[in-house]
Chain A
Amino acid sequence: MTKALFSILLFATTIAATAQVKGRVTDENGESLPGANVYIKDTYDGATTDLDGLFSFITAENGEQIIVISFIGFEPFEQKIDVSKPVGMNVQLKEIVNRLSGVTITAGSFEASDKKKATVLKPLDIAMTAGATADISGALNKLPGTTTNGETGRLFVRGGTANETQAFIDGVLVHNFYSASPNNVPSRSRFSPFLFKGTFFSAGGYSAEYGQALSSVLALSSNDIPDETRTDLSFMTVGTDVSHTQKWENGSIYGQVQYTDLNPYNNIIKQDIDWEDGFSSTNGTFMLRQRLSKNDMLKVYANYDRSSFILNRPSVNDFNTDHIDLVNKNGYFNTSYRLAIGSHSTGFIGLSYGATTEDILLNEMEVKVSQDSYHAKTYFTSDISNVTLKVGGEIIGTDEDEDVTLADDSKEMSDYSNTLVAGFTELDYYVTNGVTLRAGLRYSHYSIFDENTLSPRLSMAFKTGEDAQISAAYGKFHQLPTRDLLIRSHQMSYERADHYMISYQKIRNGYTFRSEIYHKEYNDLVKYDPADRFNPTVYLNSGEGYARGIDIFWRDTKTIKNVDYWVSYSYMDTKRDHRDYLSLARPTFAAGHNVSLVYKQFISSIKTQVGASYSFNSGRPYNDPNAEKFNGSRTKNYSDLSFNFAYIYKQNVILYVSATNLLGRNNVFGYEFEDEAGIDDFYESRPITQPAKRFLFVGLFITLTRDQAKNNLENL
């Protein structure tokens, strides 16, 4: 022991001989690398390469040593050298190619995130878009590829129905994304945009991880552990809510109680609907975030909501009014656990459960619907040099009962249940830092039909410049028919869509440009004879359709100081033959031209952020039974100019006001026609319009923190 120590000391102190180490560092193409760090391992001796990649230093070390060359973005180089005599060396460094350095495939998708570079949107964009009134789907409807369907408030993507978009929170399925609402009155998403740090919206060509969506995927990532303990109070024209966040070293809990009642509002602002009892809801949310170790995160989200309304609406069929009384109870539980295994792998387990009951009284008829569904999912990803592999599996179970009691007390009971078992695998291959290829495969088994599907997905991105890329995607997508069809018949099969798309994107210092061309083919869509719709055998997968078009997006946060605006334009050509359609026709939810303009400006002199948005859709089709052509009629164009502002009175007090349809345009979304023609052989109709021309929202938001010094803007 002492001997060894002595020799080490002797070695370190007595040797004064020096040798020169010099050479040149280049990349694989022979280009010099200035700024690389060259040194003898575990010593101070070394140098930095100059503009020509040259280095030279003197070392007092002796004998065999390890020389290290490191440079950001390149694989570190290590080699044994003998420094007893002068050393000369030329080294080529190899560029690091992996998930972090490679080009991200963006075909089809819009992402809002703080973490990743070069995202088109930021999380606050979702909340602060005028006209969206802090509704996630409302904000996404201002992006290309969507058509605003003002009478539903839901997302319609590239010629798909609202049911073709599937929402996920932290990778796990959301079973009822939208709140309950009467026919032709817009619903909102059940989730506040402020709960999420990231939003991934894909209009097609998405990963094999996601199934059960023919058109689109909306993947939300919830907030991590917050920075502080706080209490939030909100007083709004539509209700009030209180929430509290308690934070500790490695975790936090959040509890919220919300009460919404539109009756006072409906009494002041004239409504076209006769609300006997306006929409009201009582809602409670609980969240837990906990790190169990340094490398993991456990998230739990639970929500219960009870909402109800009663309304009378004139019937188009006779002189009576329809009386509708609805009570909806919805519970949702979502939990996920993510664990980093080493520095290259991640394991994930997620579980969600949703239970909904809806009691509807329509005149003398009573309908009770109850639905239970769960989703269990797990996957494992690993980065192996320039390849990332993801392997996973999931089970989605759904049970639904519908009991109808007619005026004469006769009952009709229907139900369905399905268990979907799926497995997926996906391989990302980073060929170089400029080329990424992705291949995925998804297998699903549908218990209700005892059938299997295989859905291949392929995509790639190719860097065309410093900040520009071309990407392309192809995929087969399968989905269970919607619940209203499954409750009638179990003799159908899954529906199918194929996506093809190519896109160009450039993001540079405050400017974003994107354009995408796509083609989508629908097959095996369910059709039935509307005259015989209670007969299960008439439901057949004999429908088809297509959608193709171009989406363009331009965002500029730079040209005018404190001003941020974006413009989006979509042209879409789509036809389909599905459900009760008589022939291949443009569907009622699809407009040919869609334009959105979103504007935001922060005016610091008055501490206010103002925003405006303008949306335009060319007329949507509707079917006029008096006309010869099916779905041949078009509504007038839709347009909406909305405005909002947020005034920061104090750091913790914010006043938020938003108003839709400032110009008071009477938008018509379609027409309802009589079931039977009158004696003059003419079907009378009634336009489907907005329940009120404008929607005005005023809210006061107060944040209480221990030191009273926190800003509340993010809570709007």
Chain B
Amino acid sequence: MKTLKLTIACTLLVTASLAQSKKYIETMEASIAELYAAETVESFDPVINKFTRIGQAEKMQWEPYYYASLANVFKAFRIQDLQVKDAVLDQALASLKQASELSENNVEIVLFEGFINMIKIGVDPATRGQTLSPGIMASFGKAMKMDPDNPRATLFMGQMQFGTAQFFGSDLEVPCGLINRSIELFDSSSPESSIAPAWGKSMVGNYVESCSGEETESKK
């Protein structure tokens, strides 16, 4: 009888958690779709709030805070005023910190911290370029070590190196190699789940052209 009770309890527990996770996954899927559909600065606020609500209800999941952070970054992209933009990026870092407390040594969180700081350089390039760059490189380097096949880590590392190589007029082979590899990775790798981070391919953008030019030049 006791064993039966326990079995029932265990079955119920599993079912309960699965049921829960279905609701979680579905709500997350819908919210992620809303995030990618958002256009204006204001339209991000309901999405950020929604992720925050899911986060406070689901005590063990890191994704809601990760996406709240991502939504803040997308919002910051659309803000012109540098002081306001910087404050929103700080919010993004704060949400990401909540995510990292739930999931330590998570490659997506590590690389995204580097990404946010990369955007923060743009607020004050003259002073932040020098102080933040080493930390950003360290974040991307750590992420690539954790998961060499992560397309975002590969792309952002490539972008950072591309910028420096372009500035110093040095060979673009290494950064372009990374960027091209990230395109392959974006195409080949499938996210672990429907709510795992899958963004970033659109950021390959202009680099494809610069890098293909680089390739033809080196072939000549």
Residues of A within 8 A of B (CB): 1-2, 5-6, 9, 12-13, 34-35, 37, 39, 41-48, 68, 70, 72, 114, 117, 122-124, 226-228, 508-509, 557, 562, 564, 602, 604, 607, 648, 650-651, 707, 709-711, 713-714
- Whether B5 is near chain A, meaning CB under 8 Å from some CB there, is yes
- Whether B33 is near chain A, meaning CB under 8 Å from some CB there, is no
- Whether B161 is near chain A, meaning CB under 8 Å from some CB there, is yes
- Starting from the known contacts A44-B54, A711-B130, 17 additional A-B residue pairs (CB-CB under 8 Å) come to A1-B9, A2-B9, A35-B45, A37-B49, A41-B56, A43-B57, A45-B53, A46-B49, A46-B50, A72-B91, A114-B127, A124-B130, A509-B82, A607-B167, A650-B170, A710-B133, A711-B133
| A707 and B45 alpha carbons, distance in the complex (Å) | 41
* Whole-angstrom distance between the Cβ of B96 and the nearest chain A Cβ: 16
Judge whether B57 and A114 touch: CB under 8 Å.
Answer: no
Across the interface, name the chain A residue whose C-beta is closest to B19.
A13
- Whether B81 is near chain A, meaning CB under 8 Å from some CB there, is yes
B residues 114-162 with Cβ under 8 Å of A?
126-131, 133-135, 137-138, 141, 161
Judge whether A44 and B164 touch: CB under 8 Å.
Answer: no
Q: Give chain A residues whose Cβ lies under 8 Å from the Cβ of B5.
A: 2
- Whether B83 is near chain A, meaning CB under 8 Å from some CB there, is yes
| A227 and B134 alpha carbons, distance in the complex (Å) | 6
Judge whether A48 and B134 touch: CB under 8 Å.
Answer: no
Q: Give chain B residues whose Cβ lies under 8 Å from the Cβ of A124.
A: 127, 130-131
Q: Give chain B residues whose Cβ lies under 8 Å from the Cβ of A1.
A: 9
Judge whether B168 and A650 touch: CB under 8 Å.
Answer: yes
Q: Give chain A residues whose Cβ lies under 8 Å from the Cβ of B81.
A: 509
Judge whether A48 and B46 touch: CB under 8 Å.
Answer: yes
| A714 and B45 alpha carbons, distance in the complex (Å) | 38
Q: Give chain A residues whose Cβ lies under 8 Å from the Cβ of B106.
A: none
- Whether B16 is near chain A, meaning CB under 8 Å from some CB there, is yes
| A42 and B161 alpha carbons, distance in the complex (Å) | 44
* Whole-angstrom distance between the Cβ of A67 and the nearest chain B Cβ: 12
- Whether B27 is near chain A, meaning CB under 8 Å from some CB there, is yes
- Whether B60 is near chain A, meaning CB under 8 Å from some CB there, is no
- Whether B42 is near chain A, meaning CB under 8 Å from some CB there, is yes
Chain B interface, number of residues (Cβ within 8 angstroms): 41
Judge whether A39 and B53 touch: CB under 8 Å.
Answer: yes
| A48 and B45 alpha carbons, distance in the complex (Å) | 8
Judge whether A651 and B45 touch: CB under 8 Å.
Answer: no
| A84 and B30 alpha carbons, distance in the complex (Å) | 27
Mask for B46-75, Cβ within 8 A of A = 1, else 0? 100110111011000000000000000000
Judge whether A5 and B9 touch: CB under 8 Å.
Answer: yes
Judge whether B13 and A44 touch: CB under 8 Å.
Answer: no
Q: Which A-B residue pairs are the 10 nearest by beta carbons?
A: A227-B134, A37-B49, A48-B46, A35-B45, A122-B127, A714-B130, A48-B49, A39-B53, A227-B135, A46-B53
Q: Give chain A residues whose Cβ lies under 8 Å from the Cβ of B13.
A: 5
Contact of B57 among A5, A42, A562, A714 (CB under 8 A): A42
Across the interface, name the chain A residue whose C-beta is closest to B127.
A122
| A13 and B19 alpha carbons, distance in the complex (Å) | 10
| A124 and B5 alpha carbons, distance in the complex (Å) | 68
* Whole-angstrom distance between the Cβ of B81 and the nearest chain A Cβ: 7
Q: Give chain B residues whose Cβ lies under 8 Å from the Cβ of A604.
A: 167
* Interface residues of B, dominant DSSP: helix
* Whole-angstrom distance between the Cβ of A556 and the nearest chain B Cβ: 13
| A228 and B142 alpha carbons, distance in the complex (Å) | 12
* Whole-angstrom distance between the Cβ of B24 and the nearest chain A Cβ: 9
- Whether B12 is near chain A, meaning CB under 8 Å from some CB there, is yes
Residues of B within 8 A of A (CB): 5, 8-9, 12-13, 16, 19, 23, 27, 42, 45-46, 49-50, 52-54, 56-57, 81-83, 86, 91, 126-131, 133-135, 137-138, 141, 161, 164, 167-168, 170
| A72 and B92 alpha carbons, distance in the complex (Å) | 13
22 A-B pairs (CB sep. < 8 Å): A1-B9, A2-B9, A5-B12, A5-B13, A6-B12, A34-B45, A35-B49, A43-B53, A43-B57, A44-B27, A44-B54, A47-B49, A70-B52, A114-B128, A227-B134, A508-B83, A509-B81, A602-B126, A707-B141, A710-B137, A711-B130, A714-B131
Judge whether A651 and B141 touch: CB under 8 Å.
Answer: no
Judge whether A709 and B49 touch: CB under 8 Å.
Answer: no
Judge whether B9 and A509 touch: CB under 8 Å.
Answer: no
* Whole-angstrom distance between the Cβ of B32 and the nearest chain A Cβ: 14
| A226 and B9 alpha carbons, distance in the complex (Å) | 52
| A600 and B161 alpha carbons, distance in the complex (Å) | 26
Contact of B83 among A122, A509, A651, A710 (CB under 8 A): A509
* Whole-angstrom distance between the Cβ of A707 and the nearest chain B Cβ: 7
| A1 and B5 alpha carbons, distance in the complex (Å) | 10
Across the interface, name the chain A residue whose C-beta is closest to B91.
A72
* Whole-angstrom distance between the Cβ of B117 and the nearest chain A Cβ: 11
* Whole-angstrom distance between the Cβ of B43 and the nearest chain A Cβ: 10
* Whole-angstrom distance between the Cβ of B149 and the nearest chain A Cβ: 20
Q: Give chain B residues whose Cβ lies under 8 Å from the Cβ of A5.
A: 9, 12-13
Contact of B16 among A9, A37, A710 (CB under 8 A): A9
Q: Give chain B residues whose Cβ lies under 8 Å from the Cβ of A710.
A: 133-134, 137
Judge whether A2 and B57 touch: CB under 8 Å.
Answer: no
Instruction: Known A557-B126, A607-B168; judge A228-B138 contact (CB<8 A).
Output: yes
Judge whether B49 and A564 touch: CB under 8 Å.
Answer: no
| A46 and B31 alpha carbons, distance in the complex (Å) | 13
Interface centre among A41, A68, A604, A709 (most CB of B within 10 A): A709
* Whole-angstrom distance between the Cβ of A259 and the nearest chain B Cβ: 27
Across the interface, name the chain B residue whose C-beta is closest to A124.
B127
Q: Give chain A residues whose Cβ lies under 8 Å from the Cβ of B128.
A: 114
Q: Give chain A residues whose Cβ lies under 8 Å from the Cβ of B167.
A: 604, 607
Judge whether A44 and B135 touch: CB under 8 Å.
Answer: no
Q: Give chain B residues whose Cβ lies under 8 Å from the Cβ of A651.
A: 164, 168
Across the interface, name the chain B residue whose C-beta is closest to A710.
B134
| A509 and B87 alpha carbons, distance in the complex (Å) | 13
* Whole-angstrom distance between the Cβ of B146 and the nearest chain A Cβ: 15
* Whole-angstrom distance between the Cβ of B196 and the nearest chain A Cβ: 20
Judge whether A709 and B53 touch: CB under 8 Å.
Answer: no
| A114 and B127 alpha carbons, distance in the complex (Å) | 8
Instruction: Known A46-B49, A48-B46, A607-B167; judge A9-B12 contact (CB<8 A).
Output: yes
| A7 and B54 alpha carbons, distance in the complex (Å) | 23
| A509 and B86 alpha carbons, distance in the complex (Å) | 11
* Whole-angstrom distance between the Cβ of A682 and the nearest chain B Cβ: 56
| A321 and B127 alpha carbons, distance in the complex (Å) | 50
| A713 and B133 alpha carbons, distance in the complex (Å) | 11
Q: Give chain B residues whose Cβ lies under 8 Å from the Cβ of A707.
A: 141
Interface centre among B16, B45, B56, B138 (most CB of A within 10 A): B56
* Whole-angstrom distance between the Cβ of B143 and the nearest chain A Cβ: 15
| A5 and B14 alpha carbons, distance in the complex (Å) | 12
| A144 and B125 alpha carbons, distance in the complex (Å) | 26
* Whole-angstrom distance between the Cβ of A101 and the nearest chain B Cβ: 12
Q: Give chain B residues whose Cβ lies under 8 Å from the Cβ of A713.
A: 130
Contact of B131 among A44, A114, A709 (CB under 8 A): A114
| A39 and B168 alpha carbons, distance in the complex (Å) | 52
| A604 and B46 alpha carbons, distance in the complex (Å) | 41
| A714 and B131 alpha carbons, distance in the complex (Å) | 7
Interface centre among A1, A5, A45, A227 (most CB of B within 10 A): A227
Judge whether A44 and B53 touch: CB under 8 Å.
Answer: yes
* Whole-angstrom distance between the Cβ of B108 and the nearest chain A Cβ: 21
* Whole-angstrom distance between the Cβ of B173 and the nearest chain A Cβ: 14
Across the interface, name the chain A residue whose C-beta is closest to B9.
A2
Q: Give chain A residues whose Cβ lies under 8 Å from the Cβ of B42.
A: 34-35
* Whole-angstrom distance between the Cβ of B176 and the nearest chain A Cβ: 15
Judge whether A37 and B130 touch: CB under 8 Å.
Answer: no
| A602 and B127 alpha carbons, distance in the complex (Å) | 12
Across the interface, name the chain A residue whose C-beta is closest to B59.
A42
Q: Give chain A residues whose Cβ lies under 8 Å from the Cβ of B45.
A: 34-35, 48
Across the interface, name the chain B residue whose C-beta is closest to A70.
B52
Across the interface, name the chain B residue whose C-beta is closest to A68.
B56
Contact of B164 among A6, A43, A70, A709 (CB under 8 A): A709
Q: Give chain B residues whose Cβ lies under 8 Å from the Cβ of A564.
A: 126
Judge whether A44 and B57 touch: CB under 8 Å.
Answer: yes
Instruction: Known A44-B27, A48-B49, A564-B126; judge A2-B56 contact (CB<8 A).
Output: no
